[in-house]
């Protein structure tokens, strides 16, 4: 068992799924499940445009045999055509063959979302295909000298149709290592785009790393992190992945020792999953949350429960429960991977300062989420609006059998 690390990444199997869990301070803060044969998120294909729907300004493209994708045309960059037909403009027409990348998984009745704006992620930087030169540095890097140095390096490598984003990890990266990765991303991009224009429809030009391997790559930061798995096959796959990227010294990889008991039991994996699948979440002080996903949005209701019992100063009690709810809501959004529009019905408070305190606390708590999360405002009815970027399915949907 790894006890000296600040963060642990657990990889195991659960029925026909590969399960990934992130543990911080002894508590699971993120869960992810994927089919054993991997997924399509991040993959790049040659797709054929089957239909264009003008009233929603979108196209539907077939990127694999029988697999349709939704391609928004709003703000679409110049597409890369593969059918050899000369173009005088950037229009997309029915029958066109394009290079597209899957940017969002299918959710319920909605097909996967695809884009012509290709992104290739590395450990320290992301190559992004945009109109014009685009370079940016993670907002989490606050050292201005470091930011300027990274920006200058990125501008050296930016091309006419692509730029780069320096990730948070780049702050602690040696310059030569940073440059080597960028050069590798450029080479990979050129291979995909130059070879892709000669490939037939449905060809896979790039296959993204499995979800759990991507999570490992994105976790290679400054803090001490260890990987644990109780599956020998997964251990070999992770070891190969780390060695291929020269990352084997970045974090310890350990095969779980059965003498310590079952990894599932030691880390409460199954019990945590059971709780995540329930709508009710208890708070420390006796209050509780009810989390209800719907087709259009996620509704979260904060209730006093047992917290109000025999309390004289009700307003202070309401504030205390709401503040406890803030931390738990931020954790549950990440744990359950809830995204899209989220409405939170906190316990109503009369004091405007208390309302502002809760809003500010929610902004601080959600700022820790690696997935872009925005606290919009409080409505006239006292509901707090939050948006969280939608990329993967919710954890509940990931676990569902027969889900593509």
Tell me phi and psi for residue 97, to 5 degrees. -110, 125
CB 400 within 8 A of CB 393: no
Weakest mean pLDDT among 106-110, 120-124, 325-329, 335-339: 106-110
CB 166 within 8 A of CB 124: yes
317-326 as b/e: b if 16+ CB within 10 A: bbbbbbbbbb
Percent of the chain scoring above 70 in pLDDT: 91
pLDDT of residue 404: 41
Percent of the chain scoring above 90 in pLDDT: 48
pLDDT of residue 289: 95
pLDDT of residue 403: 43
Mean pLDDT of the chain: 86
User: Mean pLDDT, to the nearest integer, of 130-158?
Assistant: 85
User: Mean pLDDT, to the nearest integer, of 166-194?
Assistant: 90
Q: With 90 as the cut, is the pLDDT of residue 110 above it?
A: no
User: Mean pLDDT, to the nearest integer, of 276-300?
Assistant: 91
Q: Residue 176 — pLDDT band, cuts 50, 70, 90? A: very high
- Of residues 76 and 119, more confidently modeled: 119
Residue 90: HSE in the Cβ half-sphere, 13 Å Cα cutoff: 10
Tokens found for residue 400: 């569902």
pLDDT of residue 211: 82
Q: Residue 78 — pLDDT band, cuts 50, 70, 90? A: confident
Render pLDDT for 325-344 as a digit per residue (tens, 0 to 9): 999 999 999 999 999 999 99
Q: Residue 401 — pLDDT band, cuts 50, 70, 90? A: low
Weakest mean pLDDT among 23-32, 238-247, 287-296, 372-381: 238-247
CB 75 within 8 A of CB 64: no
- Of residues 353 and 308, more confidently modeled: 353
Q: With 90 as the cut, is the pLDDT of residue 133 above it?
A: no
314-336 and 352-367 helices, crossing angle to 10°: 20
Distance between start and end Cα atoms, the chain = 35
pLDDT of residue 1: 42
Q: With 50 as the cut, is the pLDDT of residue 101 above it?
A: yes
pLDDT of residue 102: 94
- Of residues 244 and 31, more confidently modeled: 31
pLDDT of residue 115: 92
Render pLDDT for 306-316 as a digit per residue (tens, 0 to 9): 766 555 678 88
pLDDT of residue 312: 63
User: Mean pLDDT, to the nearest integer, of 341-357?
Assistant: 91
pLDDT of residue 87: 66
CB 31 within 8 A of CB 276: yes
Tell me phi and psi for residue 326, to 5 degrees. -55, -50
pLDDT of residue 262: 93
User: Mean pLDDT, to the nearest integer, of 25-39?
Assistant: 83
User: Mean pLDDT, to the nearest integer, of 138-157?
Assistant: 90
pLDDT of residue 83: 72
Render pLDDT for 225-266 as a digit per residue (tens, 0 to 9): 789 999 999 999 999 988 877 777 777 889 999 999 999 999
Weakest mean pLDDT among 134-143, 198-207, 257-266, 361-370: 134-143
User: Mean pLDDT, to the nearest integer, of 164-191?
Assistant: 90
pLDDT of residue 325: 95
């Amino acid at each position: 068992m790894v006890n000296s690390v600040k963060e642990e990444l657990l990889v195991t199997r659960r029925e026909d799924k590969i399960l990934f869990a992130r543990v911080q301070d002894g508590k699971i803060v993120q869960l992810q499940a994927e089919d054993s044969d991997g997924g399509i998120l991040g993959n790049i294909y040659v797709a054929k445009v089957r239909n264009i729907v003008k009233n929603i300004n979108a196209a539907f493209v077939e990127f694999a045999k029988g697999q349709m994708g939704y391609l928004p045309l709003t703000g679409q960059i110049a597409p890369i055509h593969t059918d050899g037909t000369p173009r005088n403009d950037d229009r997309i027409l029915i029958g066109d063959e394009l290079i597209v990348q899957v940017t969002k998984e299918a959710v319920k009745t909605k097909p996967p979302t695809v884009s012509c704006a290709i992104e290739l992620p590395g450990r320290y930087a992301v190559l992004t295909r945009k109109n014009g030169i685009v370079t940016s540095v993670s907002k989490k890097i606050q050292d201005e000298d470091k930011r300027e140095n990274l920006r200058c390096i990125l501008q050296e490598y930016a091309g006419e149709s692509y730029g780069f984003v320096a990730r948070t990890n780049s702050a602690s990266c040696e310059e030569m290592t940073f440059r080597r990765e960028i050069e590798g991303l450029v080479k990979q991009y050129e291979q995909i785009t130059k070879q892709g224009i000669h490939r037939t429809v449905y060809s896979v030009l790039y296959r993204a790393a499995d979800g759990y391997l991507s999570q490992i790559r994105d976790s290679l930061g400054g803090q001490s992190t260890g990987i644990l798995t109780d599956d020998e096959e997964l251990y070999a796959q992770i070891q190969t992945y780390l060695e291929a990227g020269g990352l084997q010294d970045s974090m310890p990889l350990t095969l779980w020792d059965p003498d310590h008991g079952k990894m599932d039991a030691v880390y409460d994996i199954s019990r945590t999953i059971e709780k995540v699948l329930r709508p009710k979440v208890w708070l420390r002080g006796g209050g509780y949350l009810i989390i209800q996903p719907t087709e259009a949005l996620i509704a979260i209701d904060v209730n006093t429960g047992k917290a109000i019992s025999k309390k004289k100063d009700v307003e202070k009690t309401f504030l205390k429960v709401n503040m406890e709810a803030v931390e738990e809501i931020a954790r549950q959004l990440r744990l359950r991977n809830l995204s899209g529009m989220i409405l939170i019905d906190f316990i109503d408070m009369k004091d405007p300062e208390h309302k502002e305190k809760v809003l500010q606390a929610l902004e601080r708590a959600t700022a820790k989420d690696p997935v872009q999360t925005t606290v919009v405002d409080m409505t006239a009815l006292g509901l707090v609006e939050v948006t969280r970027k939608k990329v993967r399915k919710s954890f509940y949907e990931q676990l569902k059998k027969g889900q593509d």
